[in-house]
Amino acid sequence: MARPTRVEITEVGPRDGLQAEPKFVPTELKIKLINDLVDAGVKRMEFSSFVSPRAVPQLADVLEVLNGVDRSKGAVLAALVPNVKGAIRAAEAGVDEMIVFVSASESHNKKNVNRTVDESLAGFAQVAKIAEEAKIPVSAAIATSFGCPFEGNIPAERLGYVAKHFVDFGFKSVALGDTTGMATPPLVTRNVRYLKEHVPSLPIHLHFHNTRGIGLVNVVAGLDEGITHFDSSFGGAGGCPFAPKATGNICTEDLVYLMHEMGIETGIDLAKLMKIANIVEEALEHPLPGQVMKAGPRLDLHSMGDVQTAVG
């Protein structure tokens, strides 16, 4: 299969990138980051979550953020909704899109939302009705799609079982989430091909973490299967607070850089992304794992006068 010539990147930094940070990021800065991302060409992002502020205090200002950002440029501002209560709040707030999430494994779903998988799916039926009445589209995400830190391997059939429910609910897409960076290219190929065969009507997004350093390798495996939608986070920030060793997402600047070097369009300005990532790093007061934000593009040349000449 020929690789796509253009991909769509969903920026998840304002939600996934910040949710586990101990230092609260001021609401005003979150609003600035979202506006700057839109100015950089980001067309869709997870801006926050309607989760309990006790569970994720970093995102307690979801309403203030939504009301403060400039929505005139048409970027899709999506929010995670963990349950019916969250969906009601999101509908009342007027988000552009809701995202529901469930784990492929029972153990992680219990840790994440304290429900069985089937209990979560039953709740999504109600979320779908709320969203339909509010005329808000719903996307879905399956956490631990490539492996669970408690249970190990996840059969592709398990993903199919969950995804078929999403079709019944009328959801617009499914994101396969690599919650703790357990994905490998063979698993990406297996899972994408299985869902394309068994749930062909549901578009697939890929959400990788770089826990073991092969996040962008997995992106290329996805490209080879025709996937055109990927999630990423500014500076590579992020991680699930309810899973061990769930380190950052793949980095938006690194992903955009790779796509452009492969001749694949993103519509996103890399230089602007790098500035945003450095602002985030300064605000969080610890180094972020992004590489391009530090090294710059490969043709970011330097003056010979700035480099010491070897002696001897």
Active site residues: 240
Q: For residue 183, what are its two tokens? A: 């994905």
Residue closest to 256 by CA, chosen among 7, 4, 5, 2: 7
User: Taking a C-beta distance cutoff of 8 angstroms, is the pair 90, 50 a contact?
Assistant: yes
Phi-psi category of residue 128: left, alpha or beta, with phi > 0 → left and psi -120 to 50 → alpha = alpha
Residue closest to 58 by CA, chosen among 21, 28, 99: 21
The label of the residue with tokens 């709740």 reads 123
CA distance 240 to 36: 25
- The SS3 of residue 9 is strand
CA distance 153 to 147: 5
